[in-house]
Amino acid sequence: MRQPLLVRENDPGRGISVTSHARDYARDSRVSLHAHGSDQLVYASRGVMEIAAGEHLWVLPPHFGLWVPARTAHRIHMHERVGMRTLYLRPGIFARWAGCTVFHVTPLLRQLIFEIVRRERLRARDGLDGALLQVLVAQLERATPVPTGITLPRDERAAAVAQRVLEDVASRRSLGDLCKSAGASVRTMQRIFQREVGLDFESWRRQVRLMRGVQLLVSGRSVKEVADAVGYADTSTFVALFRSVFERPPKAWVLGLPSERSDEEE
């Protein structure tokens, strides 16, 4: 198997704890499969990213960050115009999460990311740099993980069902109907999903609908339009699902997103 490209250009050098990188991407831009020698904190100052690593897929909207451990191969798809702000940490500075994790970015952490990007790097024990590093680690230790991702099943039959769901999120086809062309019974399919993704099929499909819903909300669609587009005839059902994860209704969440002219530019 071909190994992913190991990118080291942004890794912290001698005497450096954190480096940073800022880049803006056009809609539908893609970053091919690669890995870094350092831990990453990926943040979208605007727009929505879809990040894939192995059998895992995450949606990363504004106000959220993704922790990517060193040497984790991943690829990125920009669904909208995206402002990507990334911090690269020397491995061992922060060790709370062993795997990729989406988490809520507080206003303080957001401003801290912007400040480190402005400074370009933090030195290991340099006065103000050391203080900023301590605050960064403290904020990450307090960060709340958020389930905005899915795991894709490896079993060929379940993978075929999963692909049909991803291709037509609005479909309300039952699992029984989806199983007819997959060569497995409903019971077998449920067992596969539970074993390989840790969720029953309907719970997994709700996660897919939530991911797609986040993308559409950020693109400017109304809550009703989004609910219809992700397979909910009753808008209130989508609102309840969204609120269970993001702790506020979709409309309020959208109103709280960073404006096109973000804080870092003011």
Contact 199, 152 (CB under 8 A): no
- Give the fold, CATH level 3, of 5-142: Jelly Rolls (2.60.120)
Q: Residue 188, Cα to own-chain centre: how many angstroms? A: 30
Q: What is the pLDDT of residues 157-194, one digit of tens each?
A: 999 999 999 999 999 999 999 998 888 999 999 999 99
The ranges assigned to domains in the chain are 5-142, 152-255
Q: Answer yes or no: CATH 1.10.10.60 is held by domain 152-255.
A: yes
Question: pTM for this one?
Answer: 0.85
Domains 5-142 and 152-255 share a fold: no
Q: What percent of the chain has pLDDT over 70?
A: 95
Residues 86-144 have pLDDT tens digits of 999 999 999 889 899 999 899 999 999 999 999 999 997 778 999 999 999 999 999 98
pLDDT digits (tens, 9 = 90+) for 41-100: 999 998 899 999 999 999 998 889 999 999 999 999 998 899 999 999 999 999 889 899
Q: SS3 for the chain, per residue?
A: CCCCEEECCCCCCCCEEEEEEEEEECCCCEEEEEEECCEEEEEEEECCEEEEECCEEEEECCCEEEEECCCCCEEEEECCCEEEEEEEECCCCCCCCCCCEEEECCHHHHHHHHHHHHHCEEECCCHHHHHHHHHHHHHHHHCCECCCEEECCCCHHHHHHHHHHHHCCCCCCCHHHHHCCCCCCHHHHHHHHHHHHCCCHHHHHHHHHHHHHHHHHHCCCCHHHHHHHCCCCCHHHHHHHHHHHHCCCHHHHHHCCCCCCCHHHC
Residues 5-46 pLDDT 10s: 787 778 888 889 999 999 999 999 999 999 999 999 999 998
